[in-house]
A and B are shown apart, each in its own frame.
Chain A
Amino acid sequence: MERRDFLQTLGALVCLSADGVRGPDWPVLAQPLLLMLLGHEAVRELGMQYRALVPQEDNRDLLRSTLPAPWHRSIAATIQQDFEAGRTVVLRGWILSVTEARQCALFSML
């Protein structure tokens, strides 16, 4: 991820916290691999596609509740388990775990 993208992403997260959202979203939103690979704009588009594909999850609180609490287990382990169990979704051709797709969806709401 380029420095400019990183700063934009960080700025969005700060805004989210300042917006009165309950609890820090940073840990559940942190998905270094996708952000590093694709950049924040592409991740946002993936998230929007997921919300269109799964409209029943197009809700910030619901999405947050589906993601593991950061102190419970690492996001990376959950994503790995998703892939092992075949809990995947195809967004813009990318084969993603459902967990990271939900992360993208939450990210797209920032």
Chain B
Amino acid sequence: MHIDARSLPNGSLLEGDLCIVGAGAAGIAMALEWIGSKHTVLLLEGGGLDYEPAMQDLYRGKIVGLPYFPLEAARLHQFGGTTGHWAGFCSTFDAIDFEQRDWVPYSGWPLRREDLDPFYARAQPLLQLGPYDYAAARWQRRDPGLVPLPLDPTVVWTKMWQFSPPTRFGVVYRDAIFGAPNVQLYTHANVCEIVANEALTAVDGLRVRGHDGKEHRVRARQYVLACCSIQNARLLLASNRRATAGLGNAHDLVGRFFMEHLEIPSGHLGLETSRVPGMKMYAFTLGVTKARGELALHAGVQRARRILNGTVSLEPGTADEVAKSTFQSLNPQVLAAMRDSTEQGAPPPSADSTVVPPAPFYHLMTRQEQAPNPLSRVSLTTERDALGMPRAQLDWRLTDLDKRSFREFYGVLGREFGRSGLGRVQMLDWVTHTEPAWPSTLSGGWHHMGTTRMHDDPKRGVVNASCQLHGVANLSITGASVFPTAGAVNPTLTLVALTLRLSDHLRLKLG
């Protein structure tokens, strides 16, 4: 059932068993899990069903520290959330991403990759992906054209990605949510405050505001924040009526450890084309490619070099060309088809090519995890939005480890290509420099992670291993904000898997 909160009389009370705040990938994935259950689910979306400038403006914020995208452009504030314009890149975190690495401060998850495997498998169909299989050899058996480069896999291996159509959650799951008798979707329902009890041990309710000045209350047995990393932190920090530093922020952790994926053109590959039968394994066409590989360093190499995890994609191009991101390198027809698919929810039509001949040169685009850094953070400004909420401020900061990891990565990659005789690697100038400065091409992947990190110790994490806010029995958080480390790959598959895991935990609590 869908209700536009603007149609409610002022002062309405919305009641349910489970209240989910935010209807993006995480929120909708959670709600879908509860369709047909005996429980009443309230799904609160701050935006409408489509893009609305006034709603989007609520995400506007201040950027300090390193340059970053405008915050109001980095997330979509509408039903379906940022899946309304994502590209569908999915892969799993590696086992090493969950480990405590002594060379990566604040690393380590309170769960292992094996713990997440069953939830990854459940998340695959929600994202309209193929089988839960990320082994290059098995993809090669499915499609003999997918041939990994014959590099030493104990040094450089081919990490597989799968591609969602991409799933527009607001389109694909609209009917399921609208038609679910036990799910009440409220749009234009912006949560402005989480009201905790006096002891700060439970949430008593939520306050919802609209541009029309109406204010409503929400009451549920369990609450889940699924608003994205910046907004989850913002809402907790702004809920300071009883907890002056913000709810769940007794140890000054909420908003800290903001992480991105560093996506930067980093080098070139000159390929010995006579030794490579084809490059379909590494090629990508939006809406067509189901799976492809990127190059990654083996965990043993990461340990030995004491560096972060990352992957490199190969985009054909000449060495004297300016490297482009995946989106920038798409031709205008594909981009137009992508826009159409955003509007209509259909993948762009295109033909798959069975043979992709090797090119002599490739741009190397790196996608690297950012080291957790408490100084990289989201906080509140004194400016308020149209609903009276303090706006967010992002202070994005990187460390020497982030920079050194690029340099080491390319050193290993270059040696392995040379050793194998497959080609030579050229590092861009900024990679070779040892000073901490970043190039003007520094960019994130539009991935926000880590502001309400997960740790069993409340002094070191905002939520516990079950994603429950430490000390607050009926409030949980889902999404990439709970990631303690960022992994090398895009976060959507992992955040949906974590959401499904949280859903199982809540099922035990609600009975």
Contact = CB atoms under 8 A, between A and B. Distances in A.
Interface of A: 33-34, 36-38, 76, 79-80, 82-84, 86, 88, 90, 92-97
A93 B423 contact: no
A33 B276 CA distance: 14
Interface residues of B, number: 24
A71 to B, nearest CB: 21
A36 B238 CA distance: 61
A93 B432 CA distance: 7
A51 to B, nearest CB: 19
Contacts, number: 58
B418 A88 contact: yes
A89 to B, nearest CB: 11
A33 B423 CA distance: 8
Given A37-B360, A90-B432, A93-B432, A80 B426 contact: no
A90 B415 CA distance: 11
B410 A95 contact: yes
Q: State the majority secondary structure of interface residues on A.
A: helix
A93 B418 contact: no
Nearest to B271: A37
B270 interface: yes
A94 B413 CA distance: 11
Given A33-B421, A36-B272, 4 more contacts: A37-B423, A79-B418, A80-B421, A83-B415
Contacts of B81: none
B410 A83 contact: no
B428 A95 contact: no
A78 B411 CA distance: 19
B419 interface: yes
Contact of A88 (B272, B415, B421, B432): B415
A43 to B, nearest CB: 11
A10 to B, nearest CB: 21
Contacts of A34: 424
Given A37-B270, A37-B360, A94 B419 contact: no
A84 B432 contact: no
Contacts of B270: 33, 37-38
